Amino acid sequence: MADQSLDHAVPSAEDGALIAAIRRQEERVRRDPASLAFAQLADLYRKAGRVAEAIAICREGLQRFPHYTTARLILAKTYQADGEFDQALAELAAILDVSPRDVQSHRLAAEIHRRCGRLDQAVTHLETVVTLDPGDRESRALLGLLRASGPGEGSGLRRVLADDTFVTLAFGSLCLDQGLLDEAASVFTRLLRKDPDNSEARERLEQTLRARLRRRG
């Protein structure tokens, strides 16, 4: 029944391919329920938005294979998609305890901490990412934005931002609206360093980073 409802809800070719992949993997797991194939099925469930099923199958599989880091990373991604950031970070911490050089886990931990307004923790993970993967230009650029304590040298506007009078949500939003993305990121980052619980600053920073990705894309 679950597959039928998904068929009706997502009729596109891409989603049809996802449904077919889920069915194939479900059959594979049925044939060999003790295999590691549960992790791929859980990831397919996650991509299809079937969060509860993805979490359940990961938890069950990890009881049998507690050191299977791929499944634990999929579980962390699923928790993140469900907004359960603390649970996601707990799974990532378990991975990094045994695999401290796991780049994907550091990237995801950095993203979650950033989205929670904890910029210092995000910076720590990003620093590890760029050390382990020097070719990751996006993480390096993001690290530069989050690590900067101030606007630095450059345009007149950047010199204006040296004055905390202009470090406000309103001014940062104006920069964002005008496409001044680095300046907007500087404002929102500095606001979050003062108040990590500022939910509006967190959301505006995420908007700014999404706009940067679209511009670069």
Residue 9 pLDDT exceeds 60: no
Residue 4 pLDDT exceeds 80: no
Residue 131 pLDDT exceeds 60: yes
Helix (H) or strand (E) run with residue 141 in it: helix 137-147
Residue 164 pLDDT exceeds 80: no
Q: Provide the percentage of residues in the chain whose pLDDT is more than 70.
A: 86
Check residue 19 and give left, alpha or beta (phi > 0: left; psi -120 to 50: alpha).
alpha
pLDDT, position 153? 47
More confident residue, 9 or 91: 91
Residue 108 pLDDT exceeds 80: yes
Instruction: From residue 177, give the alpha-carbon distance in Å to each of 154, 169, 207.
Output: 20, 12, 10
Residue 154 pLDDT exceeds 90: no
Provide the mean pLDDT of the chain: 88
pLDDT, position 173? 95
Residue 182 pLDDT exceeds 80: yes
Question: Can you tell me whether residue 99 is helix, strand or coil?
Answer: coil
CA dist 75 and 55 (Å) reads 6
What residue segments make up the domains of the chain, in order of their start?
A: 151-217
pLDDT, position 157? 56
Residue 149 pLDDT exceeds 80: no
- State residue 171 phi and psi, 5-degree precision: -70, -40
pLDDT digits (tens, 9 = 90+) for 42-67: 999 999 999 999 999 999 999 999 99
| Most distant CA pair in the chain, distance | 66
pLDDT, position 215? 86
- State residue 197 phi and psi, 5-degree precision: -90, 5
pLDDT, position 162? 63
Give Cβ neighbours of residue 88 (< 8 Å, ≥ 6 apart).
76, 77, 79, 80, 108, 112
